[in-house]
Structure 1
Amino acid sequence: MSTSPSSRPTAFALHALGSSARAFDGVAEALADSLDVQAIDLPGFGDAAAMTGTSIPETIRHVERAIRRSGATRWILVGHSMGGKIASMVAARALAGESELFGLAGVALLAASPPVPEPMEEDRRRQMLSWAQGDAISAEDARTFVDANVGTGLAPDADARAIDDVRRTSTAAWRAWFETGSREDRSTDVGVLDLPALILAGGEDGDLGEDAQRRLNETVYPRADVEVLPGVGHLLPLERPLAVADAIRRFWTTSAGVGPAVPPDVAAVIASPRTSARTRGLLAQRAVADDPRATPQALTDVQLATLRVLADRVVPQDEPAIDIALRVDTQLAGGGGDGWRNADLPTDREAYAIALDALAPLRTRSPRELDTVIAQLSEGTYDEHDHFTAAQFAAWFEDARVDLVRQWLAHPATMARIGFDGFANGGDDVFTGFALLGADEREDWEMLPVIPR
Structure 2
Amino acid sequence: MITPEVTGVAMGGGPGLPLLLLGPSLGTSATALWSAAASDLADAWQVVAWDLPGHGHNPDVPGEGFTMAELAEGVLDLVDRVQSERGDAGGAFAYAGVSIGGAVGQQLLLDVPARVTRAVLLCTAARFGDPSGWHERAALVRSSGTPAVVPGSAERWFAPGFLDSHPEIGATLLDSLQAADRFGYAAACEALAGFDVRARLGEVGTPLLVIAGEDDIAAPPREGRLIAESVQHGRLVVLPGVGHLAPAEAPERVAQLVREHLTTGTSPEGRLHAAGMRVRRKVLGDSHVDRAEASRTEFTDEFQDLITRYAWGEIWNRPGLDWRSRSLITLTAMIARGHHDEFAMHVRAARRNGLTTDEIKELILQCAIYCGVPDANTAFRIAQSVLDELDEDPEGTR
Scaled by the length of structure 2, the TM-score of the pair is: 0.56
> CA separation of 1:118/1:26 partners in 2, compared to 1, >3 Å: closer, same or farther?
same
Shift of 1:225: 1.4
RMSD value, Cα: 3.1
- Structure-1 separation of matches of 2:80 and 2:50: 13
One-letter amino acid of the structure 1 residue matched with residue 122 of structure 2 = L
One-letter amino acid of the structure 2 residue matched with residue 32 of structure 1 = A
- Deviation track 1:94-113 (CA, whole Å, cap 9, x = no partner) reads 22x5xxxx4x2111000113
Aligned to 1:162: 173
Shift of 1:6: 5.2
Written as runs of structure 1 = structure 2, the 5 A alignment for 1:138-149 is 138=147, 141-149=149-157
Q: Tell me if structure 2 keeps the 8 A contact 1:82–1:112.
A: yes
> Which of 81, 93, 96 is the matching residue for 1:75?
93
Q: Tell me if structure 1 keeps the 8 A contact 2:41–2:47.
A: yes
Aligned to 1:91: 109
Q: Tell me if structure 2 keeps the 8 A contact 1:42–1:63.
A: no
Shift of 1:45: 2.1
- Deviation track 1:33-62 (CA, whole Å, cap 9, x = no partner) reads 232221111223222243316512331121
Aligned to 1:110: 122
SS at match of 2:238: strand
> Which of 182, 188, 193 is the matching residue for 2:204?
193
Aligned to 2:256: 246
Identity %: 22
SS at match of 2:76: helix
Written as runs of structure 1 = structure 2, the 5 A alignment for 1:289-368 is 291=271
Rg (Cα) greater in structure: 1
> Which of 20, 25, 30 is the matching residue for 1:11?
20
Aligned to 1:29: 39
Shift of 1:203: 0.4
Q: Tell me if structure 1 keeps the 8 A contact 2:264–2:270.
A: no
Q: Which has the higher helix share?
A: 2
Correspondence 1:63 to 2:72: no
Q: Tell me if structure 1 keeps the 8 A contact 2:21–2:96.
A: yes
Aligned to 1:225: 235
Aligned to 2:141: 132
- Structure-2 separation of matches of 1:290 and 1:211: 22
SS at match of 1:134: helix
- Structure-1 separation of matches of 2:70 and 2:246: 26
SS at match of 1:133: helix
Q: Tell me if structure 2 keeps the 8 A contact 1:31–1:37.
A: yes
> CA separation of 1:219/1:49 partners in 2, compared to 1, >3 Å: closer, same or farther?
farther
Aligned to 1:438: none
Shift of 1:153: 1.5
Written as runs of structure 1 = structure 2, the 5 A alignment for 1:232-271 is 232-256=242-266
Aligned length: 252
Query: Which structure 1 segments of 5+ residues have no match?
Result: 260-288, 296-453
Scaled by the length of structure 1, the TM-score of the pair is: 0.50
Q: Tell me if structure 2 keeps the 8 A contact 1:255–1:291.
A: yes
